[in-house]
Amino acid sequence: MRVIVITGSSDGIGADMARQLAARGGEAVALVLAARNGAMLDAVAGQCQALGAQTLAVPTDVSVQAECIALIDAAVARFGRIDALINNAGRSAHALFEDVRDLGWYEDLMRVNLWGSVWCTHAALAHLKASRGRIVAVSSLAGLVGVPGRTAYAATKFAMAGFFEALRAELKGAGVSVTTAYPGVVATRIRHHGYNAAGQQLGKSLLKEEGAMPVEECARLIIEGMEGRRREVVMTAKGKAGRFLKLVAPGLVEEMALAAVKAS
């Protein structure tokens, strides 16, 4: 039986990854599901159980280190091992830097998007080394290319990319793979729930949503990347092109980034 911990699994990409892993693995997989909303978490756990998987729902706020440690401890106490950790919990934000008056929520965002992943990974590392397991970090194309209005969000996702790239090299001899996923615009509500300039819930998306990737496809690509122990999963053709063009034509990439934002 494989034991997989998924943060941010009450909704969106995380919930769909849980359901797909349950459908693929059935009774051969145990899913440890973590998120802040306990009721939504229990609903996803029930869906996964109906597909045959064993589940453990652990309400967790990854911005609190003690809760990250408690999550990993609960997983090991229940199932005795950890074979994969999917660091998916995250929050969005969209605001022009000059419109921000109090930068406190920048720090809060970093605690969720970066430190939550760091703390969970640190707590799970010995168990993952014992199982020669897999680590997944769900970053964003905003972690490869800066997008206007996304200074806070891009900072957290660039930081994730750098941390897990360095960790991958450190763990190369230990048999633990590190896969960083870079989704583009995915059809979820994450942008609506993100911060605005005042540090409150934005309530809408300021990115162009036409052609957003279905959440099921995004979840599938991340799972395939994890199973194949791939270094990176860049989701879209535009993302792959943007990464290359950033090296040879950075001005053009800035124009592409501007084009991704709705006209105000």
Catalytically annotated residues: 153
* Spatial distance between the Cα atoms of 214 and 154, rounded to a whole number of angstroms: 22
* Spatial distance between the Cα atoms of 121 and 128, rounded to a whole number of angstroms: 9
Look-up of token digits 């819930």: 201
* Spatial distance between the Cα atoms of 97 and 196, rounded to a whole number of angstroms: 11
